[in-house]
Amino acid sequence: MSALRKKADMPKNEQRNLILLTVDAWRADFADAYGGIALLPALAGVAQHTIRFENFYANAPWTTPALISILTGESPARHGVFYQWSAPRQDSPGIAKRLAAKGYALPNVCYLNSINGYQNLGFGPCPIPDIAHPASDGALLAALRQQRARGGPFFLWYHYKFLHFPYWAGAAYRQRMGIDEAAIPPRLRQSVCTEWNVPRDKFSFPAADRDILRRLYAAELLEFNDFLRPVLEELASGDLMERTTLVLTADHGDEHLEHGHVGHASTAEHATLYEEILHVPLLVVDSRIGMPRSITARIQGLDLYSTMLSLIGEPATVGHGAFDFSSAILDPAGTLPDPDRIFYFHSARMGFRTPREKEGQIIEGISDRKTKFIAEHYDAARFMLYDLAHDPGEREPSVCTADREEPEFLSARKALEETRAALAGR
């Protein structure tokens, strides 16, 4: 990588570019290595200018509501994008809309913009591309080169979809993860290796499948690494990196048999709010970061909106329940949020695949780092209270139903209702 200018050398009035690269179904525990194999060595070249957030949480367990929180700074309780037929409000504070008003170019290379759930955010519709081999999808790289030639500030959002099911990376990547194809059970070949959705009521897996499942998933990250490498090389050539902030994160994670199944709300067609689905990676690459750092403070998806704007010199109003943590990125002594603040999570029963006849069947929850309370409103109401300090794997919740509520559940339900109302701005 070329040498980067120090923060003091940057013109004070320079508008910085912003790249938001979101990765579908990327778990927090696959940000570095699996089985002793480095998954993202391409990041080594920018490590000196990278901050990793160890406790970043999605606000929903499927793509659209989680990403709308990132793109608007609003909780699902406020943006209300719960179903495949939902859309953000006309007055939604989309980051693209905000930056377009400031003269930013908005290369439209994210296929999600063709979906109803991403309207009114500042982008127009984008054609859905053919499903391509990840390494051959050159839309992000081409847009980056075009913006270099154009000059002027830009905001570029790209969603990498190939970590999502099916888990079937190229043969070379599977071999690097030590996968013996002859040993892959037929039940995996006929589900996670070939299907985009693996419904809970149609497939079942023994615990013995977990290692091969995770190796198949890790191979997908090796493939992503080869997608990411030329993007980082393009940024590093010339002075583009010096004028650009790169945010690399995920919409949600995937379950790998920790709780009996695989995938997330939309692919399992059954939403849960376990840590393995909500806890995702977050990395910020910025030339003004002078040394690699790791931040353990709890951050959530809706915090990114105001934080990204502040990082490129466009301060924004911080929404309900959000926190602008940009000062902690640029200065080790910067301000971080209260470690025990309450996070709110929400999902329709089957994620994106929820049919209209199940509208209103939802799961929602709150967590303050030490405890998590889940209210599940499916065919019948069920409430679960987890002690995360003593049960981090979420194996032994206290459970009750609507007709049998102990005081601790009544208190938790009141906290959930108050949190939801506050986030909704009511």
pLDDT in tens, 122-168: 998 887 776 655 666 788 999 999 999 998 999 999 999 999 999 99
**pTM for the predicted model, two decimal places:** 0.95
Residue 289: C-alpha distances to residues 57, 105, 185, 328 (Å): 23, 25, 46, 10
Per-residue confidence (pLDDT) for residue 130, from 0 to 100: 67
User: How does 291-319 read in b/e, with b if 16+ C-beta sit within 10 Å?
Assistant: eeeebebbbbbbbbbbbbbbbbebebebb
Per-residue pLDDT reduced to its tens digit, 9-64: 444 456 899 999 999 999 999 999 999 999 999 999 999 999 999 999 999 999 99
DSSP structure class, residue 154: B
Instruction: For residues 53 and 326, give the distance between their C-alpha atoms in angstroms, rounded to a whole number.
Output: 12
Of 403 and 146, the structure prediction assigns the larger pLDDT to 146
Per-residue pLDDT at 6? 40
- pLDDT of amino acid 133: 59
Sequence-ordered list of residues with C-beta below 8 angstroms from that of 142, at least 6 positions apart, any chain: 109
Among 314-328, 353-367, 402-416, which range has the highest average pLDDT?
A: 353-367
Task: Read off the pLDDT of each residue in 343-372 and give the average, rounded to a whole number.
Answer: 97
pLDDT bin (cut points 50, 70, 90) of residue 239 is confident
Q: Dig out the tokens for 384 from the structure.
A: 């679960």
Mean pLDDT computed over 237-246: 92
DSSP 16: P
In three-state secondary structure terms, 79 is helix
Residue 2 has pLDDT above 60, yes or no: no
Question: Which pLDDT value is given to residue 402?
Answer: 75
Strands 50-57 and 17-23 turn out to be: unpaired
Average pLDDT for 373-388: 96
- Select 7-330's CATH number: 3.40.1790.10, 3.30.70.2190, 3.40.720.10, 3.10.580.10: 3.40.720.10
| CA distances (Å), origin 376, targets 47, 256, 302, 393 | 41, 21, 23, 19
Question: For 36-102, where are the alpha helices, taking DSSP H only?
Answer: 63-72, 76-79, 95-100
H-helix or E-strand spanning residue 246: strand 244-250
SS3 309: helix
Give the mean pLDDT of the chain. 93
Strands 33-34 and 17-23: unpaired
Spatial distance between the Cα atoms of 331 and 75, rounded to a whole number of angstroms: 27
Closest by alpha carbon to 204, among 257, 253, 166?
257
Lowest mean per-residue pLDDT among 79-93, 144-158, 220-234, 396-410:
396-410
Q: What is the mean pLDDT of residues 113-127?
A: 90
Provide the 10 A C-beta neighbour count for residue 140: 23
Lowest-confidence range among 1-10, 48-57, 408-417? 1-10
- Is residue 7's pLDDT more than 50? no
DSSP state of 31: S
Q: How far apart are the first and last CA of the chain?
A: 49
358 by Cβ neighbours in 10 Å (0-12 / 13-18 / 19+) ranks as: middle
For residue 38, the model assigns a pLDDT of: 98
Q: How many CA atoms does the CB half-sphere of 339 hold within 13 Å?
A: 7
Three-class SS of residue 422?
helix
Q: 238 pLDDT band (50/70/90 cuts)?
A: confident
- CA–CA distance, 227 with 53 (Å, rounded to integer): 22
Residue 52, strand partner residues: 283, 294
**Percentage with pLDDT > 70 across the chain:** 94
User: What totals of helices (H) and strands (E) does the chain contain, helices first?
Assistant: 12, 15
